[in-house]
Structure 1
């Protein structure tokens, strides 16, 4: 069994007065539910789900345990996500905002990075996603399901936006916005048409252009360049 297909090694606690918000996210990438423990994790799940190179994501996939201090002390850590990319490359992801990383957490993340490197996996600890990118991903995620796609409309949209132009002007050229807009948002999610999701909130004036032949991954933070987050 591949790690991206494993179940969670631990559940998410739920109790009165809880400050974080656990839940389940339906990933279009795998057509399966993936768990999250906070809004920050949910934003990263959406980011990963919108990356064409990602083919699978597993939450709480395994637990690492090791000794330190001359073998007298034991520590353990359960990473947040295991990510499989289309080419087979694997990545382990921990989600923790910078201001919440305590020294003990940093030591666990460093140990996890070493363990991942030994088996040929990438490792990354990520924090908050930029607010504009997070808002755009939340909006587009509502249109991620394949049932939204209408191929005749999609074909017309790709033809209209072969030349970059404003979002709403292109939509009106295709037909009734009520019928056309959901398909357009699905094409953004699928990376078949390109918009800048970091620099501005999606609007009627957003410039839509053909998707580049090779797109970069959706950036994870507010400092990511606009060129790397066009989807």
Structure 2
């Protein structure tokens, strides 16, 4: 399954209409208006079920809100069917299942199940996240500062994603992230700059440029 990372946290760096749409999704999720949430997601293809309020601090997605409020299992199942990630953490590091458990919503635990990481996996993903964030900063430094939430690479493994796309404002392109042979592989480019493509491989120990000049 392919997906994208909605990681930009600066509302002014995004189209105002999209920010307004995200605010609607966040408001409806906060209020537990499940039918309205599903209708928004079904109507707007550019709206991700893994989207949190842009500029917000909790990073609660609709799935986190279902866990907080104790939504019907059918709502959780439908969000997951639409691509919601059970492994995505909020700003406190909690997954939806962690929230449901702490709130006593035991009827959601099976639907929100995601396996726990062992210590070597946690260390690996933390290192990957940092190396990837550093690479994104390095590749975009000529564009000026844009605040973004680092990509949580654990979701690629836990959600069995083929790849994860992170489009970057002003780049007219972005970063395509995947995992091969237990290494993180990143291709990045700008569509308006010929030969801008670069490919990097990230391991726990660092980031290495392996190809450039394509696209």
TM-score w.r.t. the length of structure 2 is 0.32
TM-score w.r.t. the length of structure 1 is 0.30
Greater Rg, structure 1 or structure 2? 1
Q: Which has the higher contact order (CA 8 A, sep 6+)?
A: 2
